[in-house]
Amino acid sequence: MSIQKIETAYTAVATAENGRDGRVSSDDGKLDVVVNPPKELGGSGAGTNPEQLFAAGYSACFQGALGVVARKEKTDISGSRVTAKVSFGKNESGGFGLAVEIVGSIPGVDAATAKSLLEKAHQVCPYSNATRGNIEVTLTVA
């Protein structure tokens, strides 16, 4: 697989201090959060964590891609929701990895149409394009 090249339209900048047990902030000050490992990983769970931040970004981005696809298909997706479930764990090489389940709820369309829209959004979404071939991503119709 070749590396995807882009024409940059925007660059987000965030800086972490103390890794998974510290703080993350954006250069514009709009994001400033405490990060801590979740209790399930032996942490305090007092703050958010990188997996939650990734899930938030992926779900928002995927919802946007779903909107792009729906407009092209002339399909009303009013009231739709996208949930990203990001799992963290050990990988086969002894390091750590992620897996994602994207759950789409699209009221007013049948299951086959919803699945088709999710699959097409998966081809458009920048997060999907960035992770394709690197981590397991499954699409589920709610």
Share of the chain above pLDDT 70, in %: 99
Ramachandran area for residue 42 (φ above 0: left; ψ -120 to 50: alpha; else beta) = left
pLDDT band at 1 (very low <50, low <70, confident <90, very high): low
CA distance 133 to 12: 24
CA distance 107 to 10: 32
Q: What tens digit of pLDDT does each residue of 21-42 get? A: 999 999 999 999 999 999 999 9
* Average pLDDT, integer, range 64-85: 98
**Together in a domain, 132 and 88:** yes
Residue 16 sits in a domain of what CATH number? 2.20.25.10
Residue 57 sits in a domain of what CATH number? 3.30.300.20
Q: Which of 9, 32, 48 is the last residue of a domain?
A: 48
**Together in a domain, 117 and 67:** yes
Per the structure, the complete domain to which residue 7 belongs is given by 1-48
Residue written as token pair 């709610």: 142
Count up the domains in the chain and report the number: 2
Q: What tens digit of pLDDT does each residue of 10-22 get? A: 999 999 999 999 9
For strand 22-26 and strand 14-17, is the pairing parallel, antiparallel, or unpaired? antiparallel
**Together in a domain, 65 and 77:** yes
How many C-beta atoms surround the C-beta of residue 100 within 10 A? 22
Q: Which DSSP state fits 3?
A: P
pTM of the model: 0.94
**Together in a domain, 62 and 40:** no
